[in-house]
Amino acid sequence: MSELEGQTYVVTGASKGIGRALSLKLAHEGARVVLLARASGDLQAATSEVQAISPTSYAVECDLADSESVELTAARICRTHKAVHGIVHNAGDIHPIKPMLKADPSAWLRSMMVNVVGVQHLTQALRDTMTAGHRVRITTISSGAALRPLPSWSAYCTAKAALDMWTRCMASEGSEHNISAVSVAPGIVDTEMQLAIRSAPQEDFPLHDNFVAYKTDGQLTQPEEVADQLFSIVAEHTMNQSGQRFDVRDL
């Protein structure tokens, strides 16, 4: 029997890309997966794939930028499960890809909500399922953008840097409840976020040609490959590793 048998993992941004691939990997390893994402055909398709492996897995439509949506999502999970054993905070928003002095404030706000505030809100709202003393592992998906400024990515860079610090704070405060938290940078992955980056107007994004080249030169990794590399960190990281930041290319 897998060590994850009987455990419940919540994965945000689960409809596609890394979130979908990790949901499938967790299901293959015996976990029940709660797939969170905004309503879409992709979410329905990903859920069907996961349920073919793990019939008790299910999806909840959730927009992390909408506080009411987060509350309703957490309430449903708390009603359904006495214990959540892991959360993968994978959902992210790269927009706005604009110079700082031209960026729409509402787009900046949404970036903060999805990438940071929604992470805190969802985790806090699930506290009753995580504070009974059982082992809980929280993983946040970071980025190289958390470590250095990139032109026209001010919102994303700022949000990912904040998310790394959130992870460290969660590791510090969660230890008394047997909760650990780590962050992982997945590298450059062939997802819809990369498509959005390549679709940004060149006049707004000085690094546009670099990201086009990543695709045309075959430098992007596939979500399934990244999920395999991330799995041990997501499902097996120790309390001694809590608070650390990892890069998938070093795993």
Statement: residue 59 has pLDDT above 80: yes
Helix (H) or strand (E) holding 35: strand 32-37
Q: How far apart are CA 119 and CA 87, in angstroms?
A: 10
Q: How many domains does the chain have?
A: 1
- Main-chain dihedrals φ then ψ at residue 186, nearest 5 degrees: -85, 0
CB 246 within 8 A of CB 187: no
The total number of residues shown for the chain amounts to: 251
Q: Is 185 left (phi over 0), alpha (psi -120 to 50) or beta?
A: beta
State the helix-helix crossing angle for 223-236 and 17-28, rounded to 10 degrees.
60
- Confirm whether 41 is domain-assigned: yes
pLDDT for position 3: 83
> CB of 88 within 8 A of CB of 186?
no
Token pair belonging to 68: 């009411």
Q: Is 7 helix (H, G, I), strand (E, B) or coil?
A: coil
* DSSP for residue 114: I
**Domain-embedded: residue 209:** no
Q: Of 248, 111, 114, 250, which is closest to residue 189 (Cα–Cα)?
A: 248
| pLDDT score of 1 more than 60 | no
Judge whether 1 lies within some domain: no
CA–CA gap between residue 97 and residue 39 (Å, rounded):
24
Q: Is residue 248 part of a domain?
A: no
Q: What is the pLDDT of residues 160-210, one digit of tens each?
A: 999 999 999 999 999 999 999 999 999 999 999 999 999 999 999 999 999
Q: Which two tokens stand for residue 198?
A: 């390549």
> Three-state SS for 139?
strand
Which tokens sit at 176? Answer: 């008394």
**What pLDDT shows up at residue 250?**
82
Range of the domain at 159: 8-187+223-243
Query: What is the helix (H) or strand (E) element at residue 36, kind and residue range?
Result: strand 32-37
Is residue 55 classed as helix, strand or coil in its secondary structure?
Answer: coil
**Residue 236 is assigned to a structural domain of this protein:** yes
The answer to whether residue 200 is domain-embedded is: no
Q: Which of 87, 92, 111, 93 is nearest to 35 (CA)?
A: 87
Interatomic CA distance for residues 70 and 125, integer angstroms: 8
How many whole angstroms separate alpha carbon 6 and alpha carbon 85?
9
Would the pLDDT of 2 be above 80?
A: no
CATH number for the domain that contains residue 90: 3.40.50.720
In-domain check, residue 104: yes
25 pLDDT more than 70:
yes
Checking if the pLDDT of 104 tops 70, the result is yes
Mean pLDDT in residue range 82-95: 97
pTM of the predicted protein model: 0.96
Q: pLDDT for 109-145, tens place per residue?
A: 999 999 999 999 999 999 999 999 999 999 999 999 9
Asked if residue 197 belongs to a domain, the reply is no
**Mean confidence (pLDDT) of the chain:** 96
pLDDT score for 249: 82
